[in-house]
């Protein structure tokens, strides 16, 4: 239990898959630490470069703009990076390919059977964090499903961003079980793919704050 003089850990919040100005504003107003923009055209939440520019310029200082890529060309990544603070690689990018990125980066890992997270943390040792997401064949991200959180070892060498099927209803349990550095939400705060609901965003951030206050 913390007292008022003891700083508490604050679980960071990333809201992902933003496509609309009003959703960017809602996530910032709710207190999100990072906003994710899916640059992969195969996604229902995918946006193009001009949309990225328009959305990114609304984001104030101290809120990170994160661009998501799935095995995409370095030239595209470099152009998008002009509007981004951080890159999130969701495909089979090698550590070498990631290391050539023009911005700091995080590696998304889909929790398929047999994935050795300690080995992955060593493999991607230059990553700023590992984002752990559910595995669903054929879908590189945004599955809307959880995975078995007990597979995440304690004291992983990299900060953990927990993703996959989180919502205001289960994020407190996730924080209690995993104690991640950050949580990432997309489908759990949506009315439909790519269309966020400001009330759901607010409830999600509030649920994270309440969970933090209990620890
Ligand atoms: O959202 C997508 O469609 C997507 C497509 C390709 C790569 C990544 C994608 N999304 C990543 C995310 O939104 C999140 O990092 C994560 O997957 C959580 O999504 P959700 O389970 O819906 O909360």
| 5 CA from centroid of ligand 1 (Å) | 37
pLDDT of residue 4: 65
Answer whether residue 93 is part of any domain.
yes
Of the listed 16, 23, 80, 184, which one is catalytic? Answer: 16
Answer whether residue 7 is part of any domain.
no
pLDDT range class, residue 132, cuts 50, 70, 90: very high
What is the CATH number for 196? 3.20.20.70
Answer whether residue 6 is part of any domain.
no
Average pLDDT over residues 76-105: 97
Q: Following CA atoms 169, 85, 130, 146 in sequence, which dihedral angle do they give, to the nearest 10 degrees?
A: 20
SS3 content of the chain, % helix, strand, coil (to 5): 30, 20, 50
Report d(CA 117, CA 196) in Å as an integer: 31
Exposure class string for 170-189: b at 16+ Cβ within 10 A, else e? ebeebbeebebbbbbbbbbb
ipTM score? 0.96
Q: Which helix (H) or strand (E) holds 29?
A: helix 21-30
pLDDT of residue 7: 65
Answer whether residue 2 is part of any domain.
no
Q: Whose CA is nearest to atom 17 of ligand 1?
A: 142
The values of phi and psi at residue 109, to 5°, are -120, 125
Report d(CA 16, CA 13) in Å as an integer: 10
The domain containing residue 19 runs over which residues? 12-213
Is residue 116 part of the annotated active site? The answer reads no
| 99 CA from centroid of ligand 1 (Å) | 22
Answer whether residue 54 is part of any domain.
yes
Residues with a CB atom less than 6 Å from ligand 1: 16-17, 36, 38, 40, 43, 45, 68, 70, 90, 131, 133, 140-144, 163-166, 184-188
Of the listed 71, 133, 184, 197, which one is catalytic? Answer: 133
Answer whether residue 3 is part of any domain.
no
pLDDT range class, residue 53, cuts 50, 70, 90: very high
Report d(CA 135, CA 18) in Å as an integer: 21
Is residue 133 part of the annotated active site? The answer reads yes
Q: How many domains does the chain have?
A: 1
Q: In this structure, what token pair is assigned to residue 209? A: 């704050």
């Amino acid at each position: 239990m913390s007292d008022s003089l003891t700083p508490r850990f604050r679980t960071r919040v990333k809201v992902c898959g933003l496509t609309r100005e009003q959703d960017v504003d809602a996530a910032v107003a709710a207190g999100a630490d990072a906003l994710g923009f899916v640059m992969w055209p195969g996604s229902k939440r995918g946006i193009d470069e001009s949309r990225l520019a328009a959305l990114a310029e609304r984001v104030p200082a101290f809120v990170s703009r994160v661009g998501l890529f799935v095995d995409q060309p370095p030239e595209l990544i470099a152009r998008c990076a002009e509007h981004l603070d951080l890159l999130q690689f969701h495909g089979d990018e090698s550590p070498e390919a990631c290391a050539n990125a023009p911005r700091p980066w995080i590696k998304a890992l889909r929790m398929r059977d047999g994935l050795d997270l300690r080995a992955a943390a060593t493999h991607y040792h230059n990553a700023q964090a590992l984002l752990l997401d559910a595995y669903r064949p054929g879908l590189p991200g945004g599955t809307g499903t959880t995975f078995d959180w007990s597979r995440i070892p304690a004291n992983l060498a990299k900060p953990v961003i927990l993703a996959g099927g989180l919502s205001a209803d289960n994020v407190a349990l996730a924080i209690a079980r995993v104690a991640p550095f950050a949580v990432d939400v997309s489908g759990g705060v949506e009315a439909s793919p790519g269309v966020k609901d400001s009330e759901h965003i607010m409830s999600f951030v509030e649920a994270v704050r309440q969970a933090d206050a209990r620890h």
